[in-house]
Structure 1
């Protein structure tokens, strides 16, 4: 009961309705601005006027207006560079000559387009047949035969969005837990409230309540922003006149993702709660950087997402310290054998159970120490062995 009371206290400690509404409102404003700004920028940005002297067909590039002018007006056109014209294009000895008034950032985009344009013109001037020109300018087709039914492009797009969302939300959950546990435990230790608390509850109840409460808060944060992002993506698709983006997720995949995320948050927060208790002064301790280690599994999972069927991703999705991030991503891209799924869940639960006991021992060691930090040897022995070493 004490563990659950602490969990509820830790959850309510950081969950404030007013702050929650303000955060969501600011997020919606930011996302709305990011969606509207490209359209506003497109309306405000003027087209660059480019004169093309005696050459056709004209280049085509968004944001630029190309106009063909007669070679007889060349001198007059060049005099107006920087006023009427932003740039002037000529062809001299099969080379494109670009006249500008001064250097500007938009010129790189124009130069890149002119290279392709001149290449097409030169190919068109070669004594080639129509079929030969097509062979040069067009990429050859590759006929693909799938023994299994090919997945819909719409499903693939939904899977890519789902993978990105899971990674982003996992990082958000991990770092929110990192911040709350780090500041909460170190401040309690510095304010010397641990003696009073330890007379009422055991260290095991204390750390498990903290882990559970903070993990629930992290999960709430992830679900809230996940729903907001999904609604924003759907709204953007509707406004753009595109079909709704559906996430090709079955009930089992949704359950699995939630299961691995919850177990992952509990595992990560166990590590951070235990390690935060060993830090005496967060402003001067060199160990604070170790609190960023839980982000490593997400990075490893991201590195293997381009080959979800590969051996590396299979290992990451089963290994208990990375499976909470890798398995949901792997399931979003490929079929996972049930025996691998069961093995992954079993190993993750076993690791979490062992981690909970080890974290409790480290927490008990660190929370009672003032003025110094336990040595790395003490930490390692306390973490690995259930019996305290002297």
Structure 2
């Protein structure tokens, strides 16, 4: 990016050119296409192998049984287990056979209600054996009761319950709204994590390459930072949209190819207003967090060794709160967190999709998010203007705060 290409442009044109350059630097459409092909191949192979593993059946485990007659009922049929009730007469002999790996295990019957299973190493089939023995014992005892067979069948029959969800006021169902809520929260999380690595690399790159003086001579630090935030956030959104769209197509097409149950996208509600508000809040939240992380990145000398890189995990906290509040969207704490800028991106969608929200709550959340975005963006530009000139030493938090206070005053 040359000086002659930017000095004659307006500030917004400079921001747009920087943003376009950053976007194209991290979004390579050819590489994205190759990644999609690789994702399809890996998904197909993985799905095929999973199907083979589920349908695969190994040899039955040979289990010796000592004192089988003590049970008082026949050994139940257990999938994957082959009973050997007459193989060994004593517990010692059965244990020795297990130790020698002659059998896969031994069931030592102590009474009609208790027994021990001896193994060389723990195995999953023991749970199925315990359940089958319990059911067989209960059935044997139930059969001795002086009750007609018809009454026994009635007593054993489960209570039939058919679960369904009512159509909500927004035209959707509980299941669809929960899927949409989870999808929005997951999308926001993916955008942040996909973009933060590029954000740190993009902002600290000029500092490591010692080209800061040339950059500041071309554009103002605030313009440079605005362009980076806009371009890198757009690149993260585009990459995540492409990734999620490819994943959704695979989820719908791959089961049909493999002969498994199909996945269908949840139906959108007839009232799209809440979803439009959610989209706006999500977009503002992404830009806000990118502005916040840009301010942090401007203080970092080397992202590979700086302990401040751990601050990438900060946005995980509000997203974790949102998943917790899915079952409690009407609590006062949920209402507070839905308008607080650092958490509204994650919590407000939960309340909008799962409960009734007063009109002023989304309006307040959007206004506070916009204000926080503006403040973080100004702080990022101010910190960048001073911090980008420092090499070999990262400023302390107190120094960073003084820079911001001095610039605002």
TM-score, normalised to structure 1, is 0.81
Is residue 255 of structure 1 aligned with residue 276 of structure 2?
yes
- Runs of 4+ in structure 1 deviating by more than 4 angstroms, as ranges, are 49-61, 71-76, 78-92, 98-101, 125-144, 148-152, 236-239
Q: 1:203 to 1:93 in 2, by over 3 A?
A: same
Equivalent runs, 1:1-390 vs 2, <5 Å: 1-46=13-58, 48-49=60-61, 59=76, 63-64=79-80, 86=104, 92-97=110-115, 102-114=120-132, 116-117=134-135, 120-121=138-139, 124=142, 127=145, 155-235=173-253, 239-241=259-261, 244-250=264-270, 251-383=272-404, 386-387=407-408
Q: For the Cα contact (< 8 Å) 2:252–2:262, is it kept in 1?
A: no
Residue 246 of structure 1 aligns to a residue in which SS?
coil
Aligned counterparts of 2:375 and 2:76: Cα–Cα separation in 1: 66
Q: Name the counterpart of 2:3.
A: none
Q: Cα deviations across residues 151-180 of structure 1 (Å, max 9, x unaligned)? A: 99x943333333333333222211222101
Unaligned residue ranges in structure 1 (runs of 5+): none
Q: Cα deviations across residues 275-299 of structure 1 (Å, max 9, x unaligned)? A: 1111123344332222332332222
- Superposition RMSD in Å: 3.9
Q: How far 1:372 sits from its partner (Å)?
A: 2.4
Unaligned residue ranges in structure 2 (runs of 5+): 1-12
Aligned counterparts of 1:133 and 1:279: Cα–Cα separation in 2: 74
Q: Name the counterpart of 2:8.
A: none
Residue 395 of structure 2 aligns to a residue in which SS?
coil
Q: For the Cα contact (< 8 Å) 1:173–1:265, is it kept in 2?
A: yes
Aligned counterparts of 1:136 and 1:183: Cα–Cα separation in 2: 68
TM-score, normalised to structure 2, is 0.77
Aligned counterparts of 2:389 and 2:333: Cα–Cα separation in 1: 41
Q: Cα deviations across residues 261-317 of structure 1 (Å, max 9, x unaligned)? A: 211111111111111111123344332222332332222222322322333322222
Aligned length: 382
Q: 1:231 to 1:87 in 2, by over 3 A?
A: same
Residue 347 of structure 1 aligns to a residue in which SS?
helix
